[in-house]
Amino acid sequence: MTHLNPIVLFFYFAAAAGISMFSMNPVIQIFSLAGALSFFFLRNAGKRTGMHLPLFLLALLAALLNPLFQHNGATVLFVLNGNPVTKEACIYGAVTALMLLATLYWFRSFSELMTSDKILYLFGRISPKIALLLSMAMRYIPLFGAQLKKTAQTQKAMGYFKEDNAMDRIRGYMRVFSVTVTWALESGIVTADSMEARGYGEGKRSSFAVFRFYRKDGFYLMLIGALFLISVYGLATEAVAFQYYPTFGAQAPSFISTLTYIAYIMLAFLPTAAEAGEKIKWKYLQSKI
Protein backbone atom coordinates (compact mmCIF):
# COMPACT_ATOMS: atom_id res chain seq x y z
CA MET A 1 0.00 0.00 0.00
CA THR A 2 2.83 2.40 0.82
CA HIS A 3 4.41 1.88 -2.61
CA LEU A 4 1.29 2.82 -4.56
CA ASN A 5 0.98 5.89 -6.73
CA PRO A 6 0.37 9.12 -4.73
CA ILE A 7 -2.97 9.56 -6.51
CA VAL A 8 -4.20 6.26 -5.03
CA LEU A 9 -2.87 7.10 -1.57
CA PHE A 10 -4.45 10.55 -1.59
CA PHE A 11 -7.81 9.20 -2.73
CA TYR A 12 -7.71 6.44 -0.11
CA PHE A 13 -7.11 8.75 2.85
CA ALA A 14 -9.70 11.20 1.52
CA ALA A 15 -12.24 8.36 1.33
CA ALA A 16 -11.48 6.65 4.66
CA ALA A 17 -11.05 9.81 6.72
CA GLY A 18 -13.81 11.70 4.89
CA ILE A 19 -16.47 9.11 5.71
CA SER A 20 -15.32 9.05 9.34
CA MET A 21 -15.34 12.86 9.61
CA PHE A 22 -18.86 13.32 8.25
CA SER A 23 -20.60 10.39 9.94
CA MET A 24 -21.86 10.01 13.50
CA ASN A 25 -22.46 6.29 13.16
CA PRO A 26 -20.79 4.56 16.15
CA VAL A 27 -20.13 1.35 14.22
CA ILE A 28 -18.38 3.29 11.44
CA GLN A 29 -16.34 5.22 14.00
CA ILE A 30 -15.25 2.08 15.88
CA PHE A 31 -14.00 0.38 12.71
CA SER A 32 -12.49 3.62 11.45
CA LEU A 33 -10.44 3.99 14.63
CA ALA A 34 -9.50 0.30 14.60
CA GLY A 35 -8.35 0.55 10.97
CA ALA A 36 -6.39 3.77 11.56
CA LEU A 37 -4.66 2.42 14.68
CA SER A 38 -3.83 -0.97 13.16
CA PHE A 39 -2.28 0.61 10.06
CA PHE A 40 -0.34 3.22 12.04
CA PHE A 41 1.14 0.79 14.57
CA LEU A 42 1.83 -1.90 11.95
CA ARG A 43 3.87 0.59 9.91
CA ASN A 44 5.67 1.91 12.99
CA ALA A 45 6.27 -1.40 14.74
CA GLY A 46 9.39 -1.10 16.87
CA LYS A 47 9.64 2.67 16.40
CA ARG A 48 9.20 5.41 18.98
CA THR A 49 6.36 7.46 17.55
CA GLY A 50 5.33 9.41 20.68
CA MET A 51 2.42 11.87 20.94
CA HIS A 52 -0.15 9.19 21.79
CA LEU A 53 -1.16 10.27 25.29
CA PRO A 54 -2.07 13.88 24.28
CA LEU A 55 -4.31 12.57 21.49
CA PHE A 56 -6.15 10.19 23.81
CA LEU A 57 -6.48 12.89 26.45
CA LEU A 58 -7.94 15.23 23.83
CA ALA A 59 -10.46 12.58 22.83
CA LEU A 60 -11.33 11.96 26.49
CA LEU A 61 -11.86 15.69 26.99
CA ALA A 62 -14.21 15.80 23.99
CA ALA A 63 -16.17 12.86 25.40
CA LEU A 64 -16.53 14.52 28.82
CA LEU A 65 -17.42 18.01 27.63
CA ASN A 66 -20.53 17.02 25.66
CA PRO A 67 -22.59 15.63 28.59
CA LEU A 68 -21.49 18.55 30.76
CA PHE A 69 -22.79 21.19 28.33
CA GLN A 70 -25.46 19.23 26.42
CA HIS A 71 -28.37 18.20 28.62
CA ASN A 72 -30.74 16.78 26.01
CA GLY A 73 -31.83 13.18 26.33
CA ALA A 74 -34.55 11.23 28.05
CA THR A 75 -32.39 9.03 30.30
CA VAL A 76 -30.93 11.02 33.20
CA LEU A 77 -27.97 9.25 34.83
CA PHE A 78 -27.33 11.78 37.61
CA VAL A 79 -27.58 15.49 38.36
CA LEU A 80 -24.42 17.61 38.64
CA ASN A 81 -24.75 21.13 40.08
CA GLY A 82 -28.39 21.18 39.12
CA ASN A 83 -27.71 20.05 35.52
CA PRO A 84 -28.83 16.60 34.35
CA VAL A 85 -26.23 14.32 32.77
CA THR A 86 -28.00 12.07 30.29
CA LYS A 87 -27.05 8.73 28.78
CA GLU A 88 -27.72 10.02 25.26
CA ALA A 89 -25.33 12.95 25.70
CA CYS A 90 -22.63 10.61 27.03
CA ILE A 91 -23.02 8.30 24.03
CA TYR A 92 -22.87 11.25 21.63
CA GLY A 93 -19.72 12.52 23.35
CA ALA A 94 -18.10 9.07 23.14
CA VAL A 95 -18.84 8.81 19.41
CA THR A 96 -17.44 12.32 18.90
CA ALA A 97 -14.26 11.25 20.72
CA LEU A 98 -13.95 8.18 18.48
CA MET A 99 -14.37 10.33 15.38
CA LEU A 100 -11.74 12.82 16.57
CA LEU A 101 -9.22 10.13 17.45
CA ALA A 102 -9.74 8.19 14.22
CA THR A 103 -9.35 11.32 12.10
CA LEU A 104 -6.14 12.32 13.90
CA TYR A 105 -4.56 8.91 13.33
CA TRP A 106 -5.63 8.83 9.68
CA PHE A 107 -3.91 12.17 9.21
CA ARG A 108 -0.82 10.99 11.08
CA SER A 109 -0.44 8.14 8.60
CA PHE A 110 -1.21 10.53 5.75
CA SER A 111 1.55 12.93 6.83
CA GLU A 112 4.04 10.04 7.00
CA LEU A 113 3.22 8.64 3.57
CA MET A 114 2.50 11.82 1.60
CA THR A 115 5.95 13.39 1.49
CA SER A 116 6.67 16.75 -0.12
CA ASP A 117 7.67 15.19 -3.46
CA LYS A 118 4.33 13.34 -3.60
CA ILE A 119 2.43 16.55 -2.83
CA LEU A 120 4.29 18.33 -5.62
CA TYR A 121 3.52 15.42 -7.94
CA LEU A 122 -0.20 15.69 -7.17
CA PHE A 123 -0.68 19.46 -7.25
CA GLY A 124 2.39 20.77 -9.08
CA ARG A 125 0.74 20.92 -12.49
CA ILE A 126 -2.64 22.08 -11.20
CA SER A 127 -1.36 24.88 -8.97
CA PRO A 128 2.38 25.13 -8.24
CA LYS A 129 1.81 27.71 -5.48
CA ILE A 130 -0.68 25.51 -3.62
CA ALA A 131 1.68 22.55 -3.99
CA LEU A 132 4.54 24.61 -2.57
CA LEU A 133 2.37 25.82 0.32
CA LEU A 134 1.24 22.29 1.23
CA SER A 135 4.72 20.83 0.99
CA MET A 136 6.14 23.64 3.14
CA ALA A 137 3.41 23.18 5.76
CA MET A 138 4.01 19.42 5.99
CA ARG A 139 7.77 19.97 6.13
CA TYR A 140 7.60 22.55 8.91
CA ILE A 141 5.51 20.37 11.23
CA PRO A 142 8.45 18.11 12.25
CA LEU A 143 10.92 21.00 11.95
CA PHE A 144 8.84 23.09 14.37
CA GLY A 145 9.03 20.39 17.05
CA ALA A 146 12.79 19.98 16.60
CA GLN A 147 13.36 23.74 16.70
CA LEU A 148 11.18 23.99 19.83
CA LYS A 149 13.45 21.57 21.69
CA LYS A 150 16.58 23.31 20.41
CA THR A 151 15.30 26.72 21.52
CA ALA A 152 14.37 25.42 24.98
CA GLN A 153 17.83 23.90 25.44
CA THR A 154 19.49 27.14 24.32
CA GLN A 155 17.36 29.23 26.69
CA LYS A 156 18.25 26.93 29.60
CA ALA A 157 21.96 27.08 28.74
CA MET A 158 21.84 30.90 28.72
CA GLY A 159 20.00 31.00 32.04
CA TYR A 160 16.79 32.55 30.66
CA PHE A 161 14.64 29.48 31.25
CA LYS A 162 13.95 29.24 34.96
CA GLU A 163 11.98 26.47 36.65
CA ASP A 164 11.91 27.86 40.17
CA ASN A 165 8.13 28.01 40.29
CA ALA A 166 5.09 27.52 38.11
CA MET A 167 4.95 31.13 36.87
CA ASP A 168 8.63 31.14 35.86
CA ARG A 169 8.10 27.87 34.03
CA ILE A 170 5.07 29.26 32.17
CA ARG A 171 6.96 32.42 31.20
CA GLY A 172 9.85 30.30 29.98
CA TYR A 173 7.64 28.09 27.82
CA MET A 174 5.85 31.14 26.39
CA ARG A 175 9.19 32.74 25.50
CA VAL A 176 10.37 29.52 23.82
CA PHE A 177 7.13 29.22 21.87
CA SER A 178 7.28 32.87 20.77
CA VAL A 179 10.88 32.51 19.55
CA THR A 180 10.05 29.31 17.66
CA VAL A 181 7.00 30.85 15.97
CA THR A 182 9.14 33.83 14.90
CA TRP A 183 11.71 31.41 13.46
CA ALA A 184 9.00 29.53 11.55
CA LEU A 185 7.57 32.73 10.05
CA GLU A 186 10.98 34.02 9.03
CA SER A 187 11.95 30.67 7.50
CA GLY A 188 8.68 30.56 5.54
CA ILE A 189 9.23 34.06 4.18
CA VAL A 190 12.82 33.25 3.20
CA THR A 191 11.72 30.04 1.44
CA ALA A 192 8.91 31.83 -0.41
CA ASP A 193 11.22 34.66 -1.53
CA SER A 194 13.83 32.15 -2.66
CA MET A 195 11.32 30.18 -4.75
CA GLU A 196 9.90 33.39 -6.24
CA ALA A 197 13.42 34.56 -7.17
CA ARG A 198 13.95 31.28 -9.00
CA GLY A 199 10.78 31.82 -10.99
CA TYR A 200 8.77 29.03 -9.37
CA GLY A 201 5.17 28.98 -10.67
CA GLU A 202 5.80 31.54 -13.44
CA GLY A 203 4.64 30.51 -16.89
CA LYS A 204 4.71 27.00 -18.25
CA ARG A 205 7.05 24.61 -16.56
CA SER A 206 8.13 21.05 -17.06
CA SER A 207 8.11 18.56 -14.23
CA PHE A 208 9.85 15.32 -13.44
CA ALA A 209 8.42 12.59 -11.24
CA VAL A 210 9.63 9.12 -10.39
CA PHE A 211 6.06 7.94 -9.87
CA ARG A 212 4.29 5.85 -12.49
CA PHE A 213 0.73 4.56 -12.66
CA TYR A 214 0.74 0.76 -12.91
CA ARG A 215 -2.00 -1.86 -13.18
CA LYS A 216 -1.82 -2.45 -9.45
CA ASP A 217 -2.55 1.23 -8.88
CA GLY A 218 -5.57 1.02 -11.16
CA PHE A 219 -6.85 -2.07 -9.33
CA TYR A 220 -6.56 -0.40 -5.91
CA LEU A 221 -8.12 2.80 -7.21
CA MET A 222 -11.16 0.94 -8.57
CA LEU A 223 -11.48 -1.10 -5.37
CA ILE A 224 -11.27 1.98 -3.16
CA GLY A 225 -13.76 3.81 -5.36
CA ALA A 226 -16.26 0.92 -5.23
CA LEU A 227 -16.02 0.56 -1.44
CA PHE A 228 -16.30 4.33 -1.01
CA LEU A 229 -19.42 4.59 -3.20
CA ILE A 230 -21.13 1.71 -1.40
CA SER A 231 -20.39 3.28 1.99
CA VAL A 232 -21.60 6.71 0.89
CA TYR A 233 -24.76 5.23 -0.62
CA GLY A 234 -25.58 3.45 2.65
CA LEU A 235 -25.02 6.63 4.66
CA ALA A 236 -27.04 8.74 2.20
CA THR A 237 -30.06 6.42 2.30
CA GLU A 238 -29.96 6.51 6.15
CA ALA A 239 -29.93 2.72 6.24
CA VAL A 240 -27.28 2.97 8.94
CA ALA A 241 -28.62 6.11 10.63
CA PHE A 242 -28.50 6.42 14.42
CA GLN A 243 -30.69 8.62 16.59
CA TYR A 244 -29.22 10.16 19.74
CA TYR A 245 -31.93 12.51 21.01
CA PRO A 246 -34.31 12.26 22.76
CA THR A 247 -33.52 8.53 22.99
CA PHE A 248 -30.68 6.51 21.53
CA GLY A 249 -31.67 4.12 18.76
CA ALA A 250 -30.74 2.73 15.37
CA GLN A 251 -32.45 1.60 12.20
CA ALA A 252 -33.36 -2.07 11.94
CA PRO A 253 -30.66 -4.16 10.22
CA SER A 254 -31.16 -4.57 6.48
CA PHE A 255 -29.29 -5.77 3.43
CA ILE A 256 -28.10 -2.23 2.63
CA SER A 257 -26.86 -1.60 6.17
CA THR A 258 -24.97 -4.91 6.23
CA LEU A 259 -23.43 -4.17 2.83
CA THR A 260 -22.46 -0.67 3.99
CA TYR A 261 -20.70 -1.95 7.10
CA ILE A 262 -18.87 -4.65 5.16
CA ALA A 263 -17.74 -2.11 2.55
CA TYR A 264 -16.40 0.34 5.11
CA ILE A 265 -14.70 -2.39 7.17
CA MET A 266 -12.91 -3.52 4.01
CA LEU A 267 -12.02 0.10 3.24
CA ALA A 268 -10.72 0.82 6.76
CA PHE A 269 -8.56 -2.31 6.94
CA LEU A 270 -7.38 -2.29 3.32
CA PRO A 271 -3.98 -0.66 4.03
CA THR A 272 -3.44 -2.90 7.07
CA ALA A 273 -4.06 -6.03 4.99
CA ALA A 274 -1.82 -4.75 2.19
CA GLU A 275 0.97 -3.77 4.61
CA ALA A 276 0.74 -7.11 6.44
CA GLY A 277 0.87 -8.96 3.11
CA GLU A 278 4.01 -7.07 2.10
CA LYS A 279 5.70 -7.84 5.44
CA ILE A 280 4.82 -11.54 5.19
CA LYS A 281 6.12 -11.66 1.61
CA TRP A 282 9.35 -9.91 2.62
CA LYS A 283 9.98 -12.31 5.51
CA TYR A 284 9.27 -15.26 3.21
CA LEU A 285 11.79 -14.00 0.65
CA GLN A 286 14.36 -13.43 3.41
CA SER A 287 13.90 -17.02 4.60
CA LYS A 288 14.76 -18.25 1.09
CA ILE A 289 18.12 -16.47 1.06
Distance CA 255, CA 233 (A): 13
Q: Strands 76-80 and 83-86: what pairing?
A: antiparallel
What does pTM read for this prediction?
0.75
Distance of CA 169 to the CA centre of its chain: 31
Residues of the chain scoring pLDDT < 50: none
Q: What is the pLDDT of residue 9?
A: 92
Q: What is the pLDDT of residue 96?
A: 93
89 Cβ contact list (under 8 Å, min separation 6): 66, 67, 70, 71, 72, 73
Q: What is the pLDDT of residue 118?
A: 82
Q: Where are the domains of the chain?
A: 1-125+219-289, 139-206
Beta strands in the chain (DSSP E): 76-80, 83-86, 242-243, 249-250
Is the distance from CB of 118 to CB of 7 less than 8 angstroms?
no
80 Cβ contact list (under 8 Å, min separation 6): 68
Is the distance from CB of 27 to CB of 261 less than 8 angstroms?
yes
Q: What is the pLDDT of residue 33?
A: 95
Is the distance from CB of 66 to CB of 93 less than 8 angstroms?
yes
Q: What is the pLDDT of residue 247?
A: 87
| Helix, strand, coil share of the chain (percent; to 5) | 70, 5, 25
Distance CA 26, CA 210 (A): 41
